[in-house]
């Protein structure tokens, strides 16, 4: 057992931390207010190599371990988890190609993202298929050397700015999850409709849209894996990406805790800083303990991925616990700020709204419990 | 010493920069109980911020010149390699660690650097004006003296750090025709000097905004070479000429007071503070 970070890991984390502090955090409130896409921040992040973290060196990426990636992501999320979500969306969309694609497909659909700033979206969820993702009903019908896609997708991160979409559709609904197939849709093909950005409670800097597919033609060579491989590819993708989402939670929770500590030392009631009161101290102590527990769970899940071992259980532990912890920490941070915590003038109100989404996206806390129970009872 | 004088079109500029591992100034520093040093437990370290500016400037000169080499030197324990890796992640080409566990004073540091300069023959040495740990601000001047080179201290730039020139990452030091033109920050203004190369320059804060160590830069830095030497290898005796006798914390600031009205404020400023 060795909990020590390498010199290089510290350097990666420090660059991400500096970027979060100097570039992301100062504009986080602005983008939360306007809901505009933070292209300036994201371009700078891309220049520094803070995007497409999952891409291996052979396809132009940095070849970072999953542990390295989570260390970077915690810092970005501590700056603004909405911006971190938009910066991390490419990873979620490129992972299926890295998991199930051929060498040629990785060259075509992954490498260009490392060369210039481009966006990709992962398209699994549908209006009628959220937690029951296997119940998706977007269809893909073979027509010569093309497939024809019809259906709609919901809550698609960066869908409004994406240059490429990783779409899951069924070639035969009767086959259930065995009919699900993964496709890469490039650019803005005829028949692809992009909805207006959703007006969300939190993580408002990330672009989230609905997509419609009306007879969208996709060449056969854009199919990732075989027909019916899509479900396995999607699940493997989520196993890999859950540690990242868990670290989003740790980052947003840590930001809330840091604000709460600073405020508790400054805010005076009954003639002294409220940090002197045990009621506040205990909240802070629980925040620190639980955030660290969430971080360690996440690092273990990431480490398992790096070892090539099955990480389903630990990834779900981490995602569930970290998301719920972030929500609790942000709630307590608002409590410590009192009335000021409920005001948009102070930062924790935003964090409270941002944290909520992490209990929902990429598998709700309930779905994580389901996955965990299934593993326990099998 | 030094090599060819080079102009704007000549190539292969070689620049040596110092990178010192210092206590991060953004943390609470406490003096230990006998006042002999600071409490080192739990202290974070970082590269001296003035040295980061020196490295940034060296990289910009190299980039403007088209080619060349930036070599970073650190004097200290093995752990100083971390700070040199940071400079190499920014873009420096290689490092030299002069390994010693002793506290090295400014004079010994200058004598060590002089020996490194003899071995490396750089065209230009750029050092931070001071290290933020002990704030001596002597090494650059001593080094120039030992080498018999010209020097320009406290290099800054005309333009502000928010200007387009800065955003375009243009170097503030103009290297051409065997000279370096340096804008020096002096009391109440700026002074422009031309110094014959090879030369020693020390950097002021208002010279540039150092770049981030990018993730690809960090990955490349781990493969860059670091040569290890000792003061003995260089024939330098590091026995300090200056010994720190005692450290003490500044006196605690007294809490401020809130005055009830402007009249009281004026009265206190006049009669107690005696500033008006």
Question: How are beta strands B21-23 and B13-18 bridged, if at all?
Answer: unpaired
Q: What percent of chain B has pLDDT over 90?
A: 75
Pair (A369, A250) in one structural domain: yes
What per-residue confidence (pLDDT) applies to B11? 60
Tokens for A361, please give them.
Answer: 């996206």
Cβ distance B212 to A19 less than 8 Å, yes or no, reads: yes
Nearest to A7 among B85, B214, B215 (CB): B85
- The reply to whether A237 and A197 lie within a common domain is no
| Interchain proximity B212–A10, CB inside 8 Å | no
- The SS3 of residue A110 is coil
Question: Stretch B51-73: mean pLDDT, rounded?
Answer: 96
3-state class (DSSP) for residue B184 = strand
Sketch out chain B's domains with CATH numbers.
13-272 (3.40.50.620)
| Structure token digits, residue B20 | 């010192």
Shared domain check, A127 and A111: no
Task: Give tens-digit pLDDT for B93-138.
Answer: 999 999 999 999 999 999 999 999 999 999 999 999 999 998 999 9
**For residue A98, what is the domain's CATH number?**
1.10.540.10
What's the number of CA atoms in the CB half-sphere (13 Å) around residue B208? Answer: 26
Q: 3-state class of A17 per DSSP?
A: helix
Residues A198, A244 share a domain? no
Portion 42-101 of A in contact with B at CB < 8 A: 47-50, 62-64, 72
Residues of chain B neighbouring A64 (CB-CB closer than 8 A): 215
pLDDT of B66 higher than 60: yes
Q: Say whether both A144 and A210 belong to one domain.
A: yes
Position A2 in a domain: no
Query: Alpha helices, DSSP H only, in chain A?
Result: 7-19, 25-34, 39-47, 66-79, 81-100, 103-109, 111-115, 230-266, 278-306, 312-337, 348-358, 365-377
> Across the interface, do B215 and A49 touch by the CB < 8 Å criterion?
yes
What CATH number is given to the structural domain containing A317?
Answer: 1.20.140.10
Last residue of a domain, one of A115, A145, A169: A115
**Nearest-by-CA chain A residue for B214:** A48
Question: Which residue in A8, A345, A362, A375 is the catalytic one?
Answer: A362
> Percentage of residues in chain B with pLDDT exceeding 70?
96
Question: B215 to chain A, minimum CA–CA distance in Å?
Answer: 5
Contacts of B219 in chain A (CB under 8 A): 8, 62-63
Query: Is residue A21 one of the residues assigned to a domain?
Result: yes
B86 vs A11: CB contact, 8 Å cut-off? yes
Q: Which two tokens stand for residue A281?
A: 């101290």
Domain count, chain A: 3
| pLDDT category of residue B8 using cuts at 50, 70 and 90 | very low
Q: Check CB contact under 8 Å for A14 and B221.
A: no
Q: CA–CA distance from A105 to each of A158, A166, B262 (Å)?
A: 22, 12, 74
Q: Is A115 a catalytic residue?
A: no
Best of A4, A6, A7, A72 to disrupt the B interface (most B CBs within 10 Å) is A7
> Residues A236, A372: one domain?
yes
Q: What are the DSSP calls for A258-310, one per residue?
A: HHHHHHHHH-EETTEEGGGSHHHHHHHHHHHHHHHHHHHHHHHHHHHHHTT--
CB contact under 8 A, A11 and B216: no
- Does A1 fall in a domain? no
Do the domain assignments include residue A248? yes
Residues of B in contact with A15 (CB under 8 A): 89, 212-215, 218
User: Is-contact A259 A347, C-beta < 8 A?
Assistant: yes
Q: Are residues A272 and A135 in the same domain?
A: no
Q: Which of A228, A246, A278 is the last residue of a domain?
A: A228
Same domain, A237 and A345: yes
In this predicted structure, what is the pLDDT of residue B5? 47
Does residue A221 share a domain with residue A241? Answer: no
Average pLDDT value over all residues in chain B: 92
Q: Is the ipTM of this complex over 0.85?
A: yes
Residue from A12, A15, A273 to probe the interface with B (highest B Cβ count within 10 Å): A15
Shared-domain flag, residues A136 and A183: yes
Q: What is the CATH number of the domain that holds A138?
A: 2.40.110.10
pLDDT in tens, B162-217: 888 888 899 999 999 999 999 999 998 899 999 999 999 999 999 999 999 999 99
- Of the candidates A169, A276, A146, the one whose C-alpha atom is nearest the C-alpha of residue A222 is A146
**Residues spanned by the domain of A299:** 231-376
Q: Which of A228, A253, A287 is the last residue of a domain?
A: A228
Q: Note whether A44 and A138 are same-domain residues.
A: no
Q: Print pLDDT tens along chain A (378 aa).
A: 889 999 999 999 999 999 999 999 999 999 999 999 999 999 999 999 999 999 999 999 999 999 999 999 999 999 999 999 999 999 999 999 999 999 999 999 999 999 999 999 999 999 999 999 899 999 999 999 999 999 999 999 999 999 999 999 999 999 999 999 999 999 999 999 999 999 999 999 999 999 999 999 999 999 999 999 999 999 999 999 999 999 999 999 999 999 999 999 999 999 999 999 999 999 999 999 999 999 999 999 999 999 999 999 999 999 999 999 999 999 999 999 999 999 999 999 999 999 999 999 999 999 999 999 999 999
Residue A77 shares a structural domain with residue A50: yes
pLDDT of residue B254: 82
Answer yes or no: do B213 and A15 touch at CB < 8 A: yes
Interface list for chain B against chain A, based on CB atoms closer than 8 Å: 81-82, 85-86, 89, 212-219, 221-222
């Amino acid at each position: 057992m060795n909990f020590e970070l390498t010199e290089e890991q510290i350097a990666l984390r420090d660059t991400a931390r500096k970027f979060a502090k100097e570039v992301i955090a100062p504009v986080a409130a602005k983008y939360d207010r306007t809901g505009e896409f933070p292209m300036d921040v994201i371009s700078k992040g891309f220049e520094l190599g803070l995007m497409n973290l999952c891409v291996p060196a052979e396809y132009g990426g940095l070849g970072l371990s999953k542990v390295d990636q989570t260390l970077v992501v915690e810092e970005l999320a501590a700056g603004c988890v909405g911006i971190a979500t938009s910066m991390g969306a490419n990873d979620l969309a490129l992972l299926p190609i890295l998991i199930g694609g051929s060498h040629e497909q990785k060259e075509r659909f992954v490498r260009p993202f490392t060369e210039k700033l481009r966006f990709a979206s992962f398209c699994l969820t549908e209006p009628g298929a959220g937690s029951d993702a296997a119940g998706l009903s977007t269809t893909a019908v073979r027509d010569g050397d093309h497939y024809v896609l019809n259906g709609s997708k919901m809550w698609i991160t960066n869908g409004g700015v994406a240059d490429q979409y990783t779409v899951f559709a069924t070639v035969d609904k009767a086959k259930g999850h065995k009919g699900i197939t993964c496709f890469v849709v490039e650019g803005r093909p005829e028949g692809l409709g992009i909805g207006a950005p959703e007006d969300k409670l939190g993580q408002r800097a990330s672009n989230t849209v609905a997509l419609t597919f009306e007879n969208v033609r996709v060449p056969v060579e854009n199919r990732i894996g075989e027909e019916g491989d899509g479900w396995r590819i999607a699940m493997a993708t989520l196993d890999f990406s859950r540690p990242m989402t868990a670290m989003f939670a740790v980052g947003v929770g840590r930001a809330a805790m840091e604000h709460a500590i600073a405020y508790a030392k400054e805010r005076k009631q009954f003639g002294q800083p409220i940090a002197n009161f045990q009621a506040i101290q205990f909240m802070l102590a629980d925040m620190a303990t639980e955030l660290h527990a969430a971080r360690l769970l996440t690092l273990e899940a990431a480490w398992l991925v790096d070892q090539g071992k099955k990480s389903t259980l630990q990834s779900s532990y981490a995602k569930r616990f970290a998301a719920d912890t972030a929500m609790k920490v942000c709630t307590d941070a608002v409590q410590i700020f009192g009335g000021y915590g409920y005001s948009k003038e102070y930062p924790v109100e935003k964090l409270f709204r941002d944290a909520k989404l992490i209990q929902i996206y990429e598998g709700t806390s309930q779905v994580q419990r389901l996955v965990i129970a299934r593993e326990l009872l099998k | 010493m030094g090599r060819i004088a080079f102009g704007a079109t000549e190539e292969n500029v070689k620049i040596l920069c110092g990178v010192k591992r210092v206590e991060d100034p953004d943390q609470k520093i406490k003096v230990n109980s006998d006042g002999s040093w600071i409490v080192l437990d739990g202290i974070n370290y970082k590269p001296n911020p003035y040295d980061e500016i020196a490295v940034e400037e060296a990289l910009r000169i190299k980039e403007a010149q088209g080619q060349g080499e930036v070599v970073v030197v650190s004097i200290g324990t093995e752990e100083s390699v971390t700070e040199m890796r940071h400079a190499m992640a920014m873009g420096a080409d290689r490092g030299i660690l002069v390994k010693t566990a002793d506290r090295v004073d400014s004079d010994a540091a200058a004598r060590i650097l002089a020996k490194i300069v003899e071995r490396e023959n750089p065209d230009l040495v750029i050092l931070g004006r001071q290290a933020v740990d002990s704030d001596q601000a002597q090494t650059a001047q001593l080094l120039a003296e030992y080498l018999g080179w010209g020097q320009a201290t406290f290099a800054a730039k005309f333009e502000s750090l928010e200007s387009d020139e800065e955003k375009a990452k243009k170097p503030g030091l103009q290297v051409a025709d065997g000279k370096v033109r340096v804008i020096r920050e002096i009391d109440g203004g700026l002074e422009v000097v031309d110094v014959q190369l090879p030369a020693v320059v020390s950097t002021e804060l208002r010279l540039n905004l150092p770049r981030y160590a990018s993730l690809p830069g960090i990955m490349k830095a781990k493969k860059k070479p670091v040569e290890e030497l000792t003061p003995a290898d260089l024939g330098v005796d590091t026995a300090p000429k200056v010994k720190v006798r005692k450290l003490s914390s500044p006196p605690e600031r007294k809490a401020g007071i809130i005055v009830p009205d402007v009249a009281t404020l004026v009265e206190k400023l006049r009669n107690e503070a005696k500033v008006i």
